[in-house]
Amino acid sequence: MIDAATPISPLGLTRDDFARAGAMRGVPLPHARKAYARFYRERDWAAIPDLPRTVIAPIVNRLDEPCAEGVTTKFVQRLDPPDSGRFADQGVPHLDIESVIIPMIGRTGRKGHTLCVSSQVGCAMGCGFCETAQMGLVRSLTAAEIVGQWWAAREILIDEGGAGVPIDNIVFMGMGEPLDNLDEVLKAIACLADHSGPGMPMSSITVSTVGRVDGLRRLVEVVQQEGWKRLGIALSVNAPSDEVRNEIMPLNKRWGMEELREVMLDLMKVRASRKLLFEYVLIPGVNDSDEHAQQLGDWLRPFVRSETQGHIGLLNVIPYNPRRNSPWPAPSEASVTRFIEAMSGQGVYVKRRRTKGRSQMAACGQLGTSEIRGRNYTPITTNKSAG
């Protein structure tokens, strides 16, 4: 039993890290390891006496939207002062974490759930099509706050018998740029994948980035470590050329598409057993023409099936989900189909992401606290961990 005066929270820690922290307080390693497993596997708070339940940010809002596979649920957890109290004079009394549980039906017909987690409150990347970007970066989340989203999702997914329904996949595609907070994201992934803890397979976790090349270079090293090679990596490319990408994704002015492709090729070489995911938000009048499809196919050529290898890349076309006050509408079904067919005709392995949660501002690119949009402030922390 962990019985120190100030209990150690297992959130965001692997079993071994938790046990080492306990050992520094005189707790025998076997006892700490058992407490860790009981906390995660049996959801037994008593395994760590006096651990306050407030270590999990409380759920303050939940929005459900039915879809063909089930119900898409967006839930909001609240971060209280002191760090969020500084916004009170701007009419923002709290900072919130938004996460989404997405029902999925696989090829076998089995129903599962994907959890879309946030890594930051707000985002510094400035992408014009994204609601979160309109907030700017408020602060990065800790590994414990990231894992806390998984814990909260399990509280929501309770079946009729009172048992928790498992989360099958975790995608870092919520609020924030994961590679802008890479140290904490990697700690959270290590915890989520711990066999004595949440026990998520590494192959069921995907990190999505808008293209921080410094962070991608770090991932080239990370995925060569034991146990990490199956980590999913997704690049939100969203444009077929530097000209278009510069307009909608300011980060491209620092790291252009040629440099992006080079680092993705490096990733391909060290983890050829798993496909790289390329995400493409299809925006009417911006990146959806036949010419754009041809340019994108040329850029993706190294990741397409050849005589010596299968497909290394998967293009995931995402119909644009309008943010608040969006200058663009959602694309028509005809334009989405035309673009997908154009890509497939070039030999690109392409799929469409089904739209879920759009009416609840829970779909891809729609997460964000409207009260914080457009306010001027300095982020609480500026995380440089990707570099």
**Catalytic residue positions?**
364
**94: its two tokens:** 């709290």
10 Å CB burial of residue 74 (0-12, 13-18, 19+) is: buried
**346: its two tokens:** 């070039």
Determine how β-strand 95-105 pairs with β-strand 70-79.
antiparallel
281: enclosing H helix or E strand: strand 276-282
**159: its two tokens:** 């079946």
DSSP per-residue string spanning 227-278: TTTT-EEEEE---SSHHHHHHH-GGGGTS-HHHHHHHHHHHHHH-TTSPEEE
DSSP per-residue string spanning 5-62: SSPPP-TT--HHHHHHHHHTTT--HHHHHHHHHHHHHS--GGGSTT--GGGSPPEEEE
CA angle 159, 162, 163 (to 5 degrees): 70
**58: its two tokens:** 């409380």
Torsion of the alpha carbons at 286, 207, 158 and 132, rounded to the nearest 10:
-40
